[in-house]
Amino acid sequence: MVVPKAQTSTGAAGSFHADGLTHHSLALKHALRRFRASGGSRVLDLGPAIGRNVQFLSSFISKLFIADLHGTIWSQAGRSGLDRVKLDRILSRDLPTTNQNPIDLILAWDLLNYLDREQVTTLGRHLAKLCRRDSLVLVWLSTLRTIPELPGRYLMLDPETLRYENASKRERRSPGYKEPDLEKLMPAFEVETSYLLRSGIQEYVLTTRSLT
């Protein structure tokens, strides 16, 4: 299957820094289309629980797992940060056990922007265990120098439109991950498609390379 790589959206709107902005997501549209075409039914949202997203997803999925890693990681990181062992413990506790029913789509949103390289590797290893072949992961990386200090919330308005909300006024340096970083740090996944938005977000849809 030929998939477009690094397309530039003409419909990109908003900035990573402001509150309540509309975000046109070609990657979400792509991921949902692929998810539905493959008969997927199980979604893992690594972000916080949002009623609107639950209602939106309930029209076409059978099970939704909400991990709220954004909240947990920040509440437990403290000043000393979060080492691999602590993160391992959080992920073992907060990610679902899927047994014979793997996750079809993982919504990671902008979480990776807030993890260092070791943490991304740890997260990738845990996520790979939840996936089947061709499971999808939606990941957004910032191409800007700075990002809001804390991750935001994405409300699904329709299959390609989100509203981005972020209450944090302060900023921090962006790790500036790019596609090669993703494939190196998360070797179980490969980039299926990506879209560069004018707002400074590179959207990726990853798929499992092979079962680990």
Residues that bind other proteins (CB under 8 A): 29, 32-33, 36-41, 48-52, 54-68, 71-72, 93-94, 96-97, 99, 156-160
Say how far apart CA 50 and CA 66 lie, in whole Å: 9
Q: Is the CB of 10 or the CB of 59 nearer to other proteins?
A: 59
Q: Is the CB of 71 or the CB of 175 nearer to other proteins?
A: 71
**Of residues 187, 63, 45, the one with CA closest to residue 122:** 187
Q: Least distance from C-beta 50 to other proteins, angstroms?
A: 7
Q: Least distance from C-beta 102 to other proteins, angstroms?
A: 13
**Of residues 8, 39, 40, 26, the one with CA closest to residue 205:** 26
Q: Least distance from C-beta 38 to other proteins, angstroms?
A: 7
Q: Is the CB of 40 or the CB of 200 nearer to other proteins?
A: 40
Q: Residue 83 has what DSSP assignment?
A: -
With beta carbons less than 8 A apart as the criterion, state whether 15 and 125 touch: no
Q: Is the CB of 68 or the CB of 171 nearer to other proteins?
A: 68
Distances (CA, A) of 194 to 20, 64, 157, 181: 24, 24, 21, 14
Q: Least distance from C-beta 24 to other proteins, angstroms?
A: 14
Q: Is the dihedral of CA 50, 52, 56, 59 positive or negative?
A: positive
| DSSP 3-state of 152 | coil
Q: Least distance from C-beta 176 to other proteins, angstroms?
A: 30
